[in-house]
Amino acid sequence: MALKIVKGSIDRMFDKNLQDLVRGIRNHKEDEAKYISTCIDEIKQELKQDNIAVKANAVCKLTYLQMLGYDVSWAAFNIVEVMSSSKFTYKRIGYLAASQCFHEGTDVIMLTTNQIRKDLSSPNQYDTGVALTGLSCFVTPDLARDLANDIMTLMSHTKPYIRKKAVLIMYKVFLKYPESLRPAFPRLKEKLEDPDPGVQSAAVNVICELARRNPKNYLSLAPLFFKLMTSSTNNWVLIKIIKLFGALTPLEPRLGKKLIEPLTNLIHSTSAMSLLYECVNTVIAVLISLSSGMPNHSASIQLCVQKLRILIEDSDQNLKYLGLLAMSKILKTHPKSVQSHKDLILQCLDDKDESIRLRALDLLYGMVSKKNLMEIVKKLMLHVDKAEGTTYRDELLTKIIDICSQSNYQYITNFEWYISILVELTRLEGTRHGHLIASQMLDVAIRVKAIRGFAVAQMATLLDNAHLLTGNTQRNGICEVLYAAAWICGEFSEHLEDPMQTLEAMLRPKVATLPGHIQAVYVQNAAKLFATVLQKHEGETDSQAAQETSQLLIDRLPLFVQSANLEVQERASCILQLVKYIQKLQQKNVEVAEEVTALFAGELNPVAPKAQKKVPIPEGLDLDAWINEPPSESESEDEKPKVVFAKEEPKHYRSRHTEVDEKELARRREVRKQEQANNPFYIKASPSSQKVYDAPGVEHIPVVQIDLSVPLKVPGMPMSDQYLKLEEERRQKEKAERKKKEKKKKREKRGKGRKADSGPESEEDITPAHQVDIVTEEMPENALPSDDDDKDPNDPHKALDIDLDKPLADSEKLPVRTHRPEVLKSPAEDRDSKSVPQETKKKSSKEKKEKKKDKEKDRKRSKEEKKKKKKHKEVEEELLESQPEEAVQSEETKEAAAPPTSTSAEASDLDFWLSSAPVPPAAAQEVTAPSSAAAVDTSSAAAPESEPDEPKDTEPEDTKSSKHKKKKQKKEKEEKEKKKKKRHHHHHHHGDAGGEDSVQNGTVEEEEPLPPMSNYSLLAENSYIKMVYDIQGNHQDESKVVVSVIFENKSDSFLKSMEFNVLDSLNSKLQRPEGAGPHDGLTVPFQLPPGVSNEARFVFSVQSIVMPQKLKGTLTFIVKSDESSTHEKLDFKLHFTCTSYLITTPCYSDAYAKLLESGDLKGSSLRLEGINMPFHHLLARICFHHHFSVVERIDSCASMYSRSIQGHHVCLLVKTSDQTVSIDAKCDEPSLLGNVLDEIKQTFSKC
C-alpha cells in the first residue's frame, strides 16, 4: 500500500499539473485548440488511473479548461470520485470542479447525496465548509430535500464559520425545495441575533433575499430588523436591512413613519457613501409610500434632494450616476422638488459618460410638463443632431417619443408641433426605430381627429420625398415611416389637397424597392386614393380626368402584380381587375364613384392592446361542461336495451331550453345595460371624452399658417422650432388676456385679489392649441377593469410566497430518513448497500470495474425510485447507505423546528410596535416585549366569533428543546428586557416558553396572543446530554406510537455511538430491526458535536391504550474529547400518557351530534377551580397538549373532539364561568376517558 503511494507520487512528477497546462497553452498560441485536445486526451488517461492524486490533478486541469469554454461534463463521475477523497486538498478540488460544471441536469449528482451528507457532518470544519460551498452552486431539488435537515442542524454548529455558511445556503435550499421554508424559518430567524456578526450578516442576507420577493410575509420581522438597524455597526448589514425596509414600507405606511427619524439620523451621521445612498433610497421609498397628506415631510425630501445634488455634483462618476438614479425615484412623487434642479440634469446630458446621459434622459422623462415639454424636446433634438453613436442616438429618439407620448399625450398642447417633430426625426440616418416613429404617426393621426388634415399634408410631403428616405438602402429602418405615411394618406384622403399627386407618388416604380409589407400598404391605399380622386372628378363632372386616373392605375399596377411578395401580388391583381372593370363602366358613362368609395367606408377606431383578453365570458357559457355527456363507464351498453324514444328526449329538452334562454337573454341584456349605466368603471362604447381638452376661445388663435413644404425642404431652421416661438407667442397672448380678465375680476372684488396673482404659470393655465379629441382605445363590452394579468408564472420565487406566521402543521417536516421496521431488506439491496461510491481507496482495477457497474445500477435504480413514492424512496435510500451502522439502524434524524409565533401574536406585536409613538431607538426593543402584555386587558372581551383554528393547526408540533432555547435567547438579551419578559410569562403562568404554538385563527386580532407552548417534556439529563421527548400516535397504525427524542449535547466534547435501549413491557415494545434481539439497543443515527442537538424517532408498539404506562430505558454513549474517550450512560423513564394515544381529528358538528346521540358513549366529568386564563387559551391548551380539536364554540362553552389510535371517540364539553371550568366528557372506553381527564387536570394544575 505504502509502496503504491510512493509509486503514485513518483508518477505524478511526470504528469502535467495545472501550471504546466497553462504554460503549455500559452506556448501554443497558434494551435491552441490542437494542444488542448491532446491535453484532454492525457487527462482522460490520468483519470483512468487509480491514484487519487493523479485524478485530482486531472480534475483540477479540467476546471481550468471548463473556464476556457470546454465541455467537461463527461468527467462528472471522476469529479464525484475526487469529491469523495478523504483528503481535504483533493476534496476541495473535486468540489470546486463540481461547483463549476454540475447543474440540475447532471445525473451523477444523485450519487453525491450520501457523500455530501458525510462531509457535512465531518468533524473537520473545513470539510464541511468546502461541501457547503460546493453544494451552494449545484444544489438540486432532490439534494435540497434530502439534505435540508442536515443543513439545518449545521445552522446551530458551534463554529461560526460553519454556521454562516449553513445559514446562507438555506436560501438555495428554499429556492429548490420551498417546503423547507416554514420548518426552517424559526431557526433562521433565531440566527438574526447570533452572537457572531458573520452569521448575523448571513441571516440578514438570506431573509432580505426572501423578503424582497415576497415582502408581505416578512412584515412581522420589522421590529426585529428595526432593532438591528439601530444597533448594528456593520455597514454591509445596515445596507441590507435598509434595502429590506425599502421593500417593506410600501406595504405598511406606519412603518415608514417610524423609519424616517433613524434614517435621517444615519444620513447625517454616516461617512460611508454606500450607506448614505441606501438611506436616501429608502427614505424616498418611505416618502413614496406616505405620498400624500404628510406635509411635514418636506424637510426629509429637501434633505434627500440636497444630498443627491451633492452626489450628482461629485466628481466621482459613480456617485453622479447613482444620484441621478435616486433622483428619478423622487421624481415620481415629488416632481416639484426635482424640477428645481433641472439645470443640473440638463448639464448631465453633456456628460462624456453615456450611462450618465441615459440616466439624465430618464429623469427628463419625468420632469416634463405642458409648460416645458417643447423646450426640453428642443434640447434633446439638438443632442440628436450632435450624438455620434447610433445606440445613444436611438436611445434619444425613443426617449423623445416616450416623453411626448407619455400618459396619453398628456403634455402635448400642440399636435402639429409633435407631428413636425416626428417628421424631423425621420431624417435621422440609420436609426432602428422607424417603426416606432411610424406607430406614433399612426396613433396620433387616428386618435387626434383635429390633426388629421395637417398630418395628411405632412405625410403627403413625405411620400412625395420618399426618395430622401429610401435613397440609401442601409437606412431602410426609417422607411417604415412610409408605411404610416401611405396609410394615413389613404385612410384620410378626404383631407388631401391634391390626391392625384399623392396617388402618382405612391405608384412610382421606385416603390417596388421597398420592403413587401410597405408595398402592400401602398397598393391598398392607392386604391383608397383612387376612390377619393374618382369622387372628386365626378363631383366636378370631369369624366376625362377620372378616366385618366383609371388609366394611370392600369399602367402602374402590373409592376406590383409581378411582385415576389404574395401580399403585394394578391392585392395588386385584385385592385387591377377592379380598376379595369371600373374603367369599362366609366367608358359607358356610368357613375361609379359612390360605389367605389363604399369599398372603403367606415372609420377605424383604435383598439386597446388588452381588449381581446378582456372580453368577458358570456353568461351561461361553461367551457368545462360537457356538451354531450360522456357514456358512463360503469354502465355497459348491453345492460339495458335502449328505448327508442330515449334519443329524442334530450333534443326536446334542448330546444325548450333555448326558448327559455332567449327570453332570459333579453332580460339579462336589460339588466346588463342597467348595470353598465351605473358602473363607473365601465368604458362606454362611444368615443370617450376622457381627454377632451376644454379650450374656450382657442379657435381664433392662428395655428396653421405654415408653408407646408417647409419640413423637408428648408435646410435652415427646423420647423418645429417655429412652433416653439408660436407657442410662446400664443401663451403670452393668452396670459395677457387672462390678466385682463383677472384685472377685471380684481376690480370687481378687490378684497381677495392677490391670491390669484399669476406667478409662474401653473400647469392648468396652459391651454392646448387644438380642440383635441384623443380617441380612447376601444374595449369590448363588459370589459373588466382589472389589471392583474402580468404576473410571471415561471418565477421561481413564487413558490416561496409562503405564510411564515402560520403555525407549523404536523405534515410540514423536513424529510428525514425514516426508520420503518416493517420493511424487509432484500438480499439484493443488502449487496448494494456495500457498494456505494465512497471507497476510492486503492483496490484492484477488476474490483473497481465491478463497482462501477454497481454504481450504474444504483443510478438506474435511483432513477426508478424517483418515480416511486417519496416514503419508499427514503427507506430505500437509507438501505443503500454505505456506512453499516447507519444502514442497519432505525433513526429519524429530525431536527425539530421551533414553530413560529402565532399570527395573532405577531400581528398584534407589529401593530403595537407600529402604532406606538416614535420611540428612541434604545427603547424600541423593550416595546416589543410588553406589547402582548398590554393586550391582556382588552382580551377578556375576547370576540366570540373568533374560534380556534382548524384542527390541523392544533396538531402537536415538533419543537426544539424549549428550555435550552430560552436560555440561549436570554443570554443574548439585556437584563432589563429579561425581567420584563419573565414578568410577562409569569403573568400567564408559563415557565416553559420557547417552542411556541397557537391554535388561533389568523384573523383574530383583538384576542390576546397565546403564550408559547411546547409538548416536549424532559426525559433525562446529565452533565453531558439532555433528552426531551414527545409521543405521537399515528393514523395509519392502531398499535404504534412514535417517540421523538431530542438529544442535546451539553458538553464540550463530541458524543458518539449513542445507543438507545428500553426494557420492553408486555404491553409496549420498542420496535427493533429484523434480526435484532429483544434486548438490543438501537443506535442513534447521528453523532453530536458540542452544543448541537438533534432529534431521533423510535417506534413503539402498544397493545392496550386505556392505561398510561412507564418504560425504563438507558442511553449509552461515548464522550470523545481531545485526549480521551469515555463510556457514559444515562437512565430514563418513558412516560406513555393516555393523551399520547390520542390523535387530533377534525369532526363536524353534525357528525358530532350524531355521535353523542348514539348513546354508546359513557360519561364522566371534571371540575377545575381557579383557572385564571382566557377561555381561548384554555381551549388552545387542551387542543395542543391533549390533541383535541374544537368542534364548536359558543361564547364560553365549547365542544371538543379527539380520537385514539384505536378508534375510541373522546368528546368534551368545556364550560367556563368565573374561574371555574367544568368539563363533561364522553367516551366509549371509560378507563381511557378517566385517565385522559386526569391528565388534563394535571396540565392545568401545573400552570
Partner 1 sequence: MIKAILIFNNHGKPRLSKFYEHYTEDTEQQIIRETFHLVSKRDENICNFLEGGLLIGGSENKLIYRHYATLYFVFCVDSSESELGILDLIQVFVETLDKCFENVCELDLIFHMDKVHNILAEMVMGGMVLETNMSEIITQAEAHNKMEKSETFIFQCPRQDR
Among 29, 30, 69, 940, binds partner 1 (CB under 8 A): 69
**CA dist., res. 45 & res. 25, Å (int):** 19
Which residues between 320 and 359 bind partner 1 (CB under 8 A)?
Answer: 320-322, 352-356
Q: Could you tell me the smallest distance in angstroms from the CB atom of residue 93 to partner 1? A: 7
Q: Phi and psi at residue 1129, in whole multiples of 5°? A: -140, 155
What is the 3-class SS of 1154-1200, one letter each residue?
Answer: HHHHCCCCEEEEEEECCCCCCHHHHHHHHHHHHCCEEEEEECCEEEE
643 binds partner 1, rule: CB under 8 A: no
**CA dist., res. 965 & res. 1175, Å (int):** 28
- Nearer to partner 1 among residue 143 and residue 1205 (C-beta): 143
**CA dist., res. 440 & res. 777, Å (int):** 14
What is the 3-class SS of 1001-1012, one letter each residue?
Answer: CCCCCCCCCCCC
Which residues between 196 and 255 bind partner 1 (CB under 8 A)?
Answer: 198, 201-202, 205-206, 208-209, 212, 235-236, 239-240, 243
Q: Could you tell me the smallest distance in angstroms from the CB atom of residue 274 to partner 1? A: 3
Which residues between 114 and 143 bind partner 1 (CB under 8 A)?
Answer: 126, 129, 132-133, 136-137, 139
CB contact at 8 A, 241 and 232: yes
**CA dist., res. 1080 & res. 1059, Å (int):** 9
The DSSP code sequence of 1057-1120 is EEEEEE---SSEEE---TT--TTPPEEPS--B-TT-EEEEEEEEEES--SS-EEEEEEEEEEEE
Q: Which residues pair with 1018 in a beta bridge?
A: 1028
**CA dist., res. 177 & res. 148, Å (int):** 9
Among 1, 68, 643, 1194, binds partner 1 (CB under 8 A): 68
Helix (H, G, I), strand (E, B) or coil at 1144: coil
66 binds partner 1, rule: CB under 8 A: yes
Residue pointed to by grid coordinates 372628378: 537
DSSP 805: S
- Nearer to partner 1 among residue 109 and residue 1179 (C-beta): 109
Q: Could you tell me the smallest distance in angstroms from the CB atom of residue 516 to partner 1? A: 28
Residue 196: which of 242, 148, 237 has the closest Cα?
A: 237
Q: Could you tell me the smallest distance in angstroms from the CB atom of residue 351 to partner 1? A: 8
CA atoms within 13 A on the CB side of 1136: 31
Q: Could you tell me the smallest distance in angstroms from the CB atom of residue 17 to partner 1? A: 8
Stretch that binds partner 1, among 16-24, 701-709, 965-973, 1019-1027 (CB under 8 A): 16-24
**CA distances in angstroms from 331 to 150, 291, 292, 508, listed in the order given:** 49, 12, 14, 50
Which residues between 815 and 854 bind partner 1 (CB under 8 A)?
Answer: none
Among 39, 79, 80, 92, binds partner 1 (CB under 8 A): 92
Q: Could you tell me the smallest distance in angstroms from the CB atom of residue 321 to partner 1? A: 4
Q: What does the per-residue mask of binding to partner 1 show for 355-384, with x meaning CB under 8 A?
A: xx----------------------------
Q: Could you tell me the smallest distance in angstroms from the CB atom of residue 176 to partner 1? A: 11
Which residues between 905 and 934 bind partner 1 (CB under 8 A)?
Answer: none
- Nearer to partner 1 among residue 131 and residue 459 (C-beta): 131
Which residues between 963 and 992 bind partner 1 (CB under 8 A)?
Answer: none
Among 36, 169, 283, 469, binds partner 1 (CB under 8 A): 169
# residues contacting partner 1 (CB under 8 A)? 73
**CA distances in angstroms from 735 to 738, 739, 974, 1013, listed in the order given:** 5, 6, 68, 74
Helix (H, G, I), strand (E, B) or coil at 1033: strand
Which residues between 572 and 611 bind partner 1 (CB under 8 A)?
Answer: none
CA dihedral angle for residue 767, residue 773, residue 777, residue 782, rounded to 10 degrees = 100
Cell readout for 771 is 380642440
Q: What does the per-residue mask of binding to partner 1 show for 872-911, with x meaning CB under 8 A?
A: ----------------------------------------
Among 46, 119, 179, 278, binds partner 1 (CB under 8 A): 278
**CA dist., res. 838 & res. 117, Å (int):** 12
Stretch that binds partner 1, among 91-99, 418-426, 491-499, 930-938 (CB under 8 A): 91-99
- Nearer to partner 1 among residue 117 and residue 165 (C-beta): 165
Residue pointed to by grid coordinates 418513558: 1134
- Nearer to partner 1 among residue 94 and residue 956 (C-beta): 94
Q: Could you tell me the smallest distance in angstroms from the CB atom of residue 215 to partner 1? A: 12
Q: Could you tell me the smallest distance in angstroms from the CB atom of residue 803 to partner 1? A: 22
Listed in sequence order, the residues at least 6 apart from 1206 whose beta carbon sits closer than 8 Å to its beta carbon are 1038, 1039, 1105, 1141
- Nearer to partner 1 among residue 126 and residue 693 (C-beta): 126
Q: Could you tell me the smallest distance in angstroms from the CB atom of residue 72 to partner 1? A: 8
CB contact at 8 A, 154 and 120: yes
Q: Phi and psi at residue 723, in whole multiples of 5°? A: -65, -35
Q: What does the per-residue mask of binding to partner 1 show for 34-53, with x meaning CB under 8 A?
A: -------------------x
Among 37, 89, 472, 551, binds partner 1 (CB under 8 A): 89
Listed in sequence order, the residues at least 6 apart from 1051 whose beta carbon sits closer than 8 Å to its beta carbon are 1023, 1024, 1025, 1090, 1119
Among 7, 48, 103, 870, binds partner 1 (CB under 8 A): 103
Residue 248: which of 280, 213, 275, 277 has the closest Cα?
A: 213
**CA dist., res. 595 & res. 531, Å (int):** 9
Stretch that binds partner 1, among 27-35, 65-73, 625-633, 921-929 (CB under 8 A): 65-73
Stretch that binds partner 1, among 18-26, 544-552, 829-837, 1044-1052 (CB under 8 A): 18-26
Number of H helices, E strands in the chain: 50, 15
- Nearer to partner 1 among residue 236 and residue 600 (C-beta): 236
- Nearer to partner 1 among residue 67 and residue 590 (C-beta): 67
- Nearer to partner 1 among residue 181 and residue 1070 (C-beta): 181
Q: What does the per-residue mask of binding to partner 1 show for 506-545, with x meaning CB under 8 A?
A: ----------------------------------------
77 binds partner 1, rule: CB under 8 A: no
- Nearer to partner 1 among residue 321 and residue 1244 (C-beta): 321
Q: Could you tell me the smallest distance in angstroms from the CB atom of residue 396 to partner 1? A: 17
CB contact at 8 A, 148 and 162: no
Stretch that binds partner 1, among 165-173, 376-384, 875-883, 1088-1096 (CB under 8 A): 165-173
- Nearer to partner 1 among residue 19 and residue 1217 (C-beta): 19
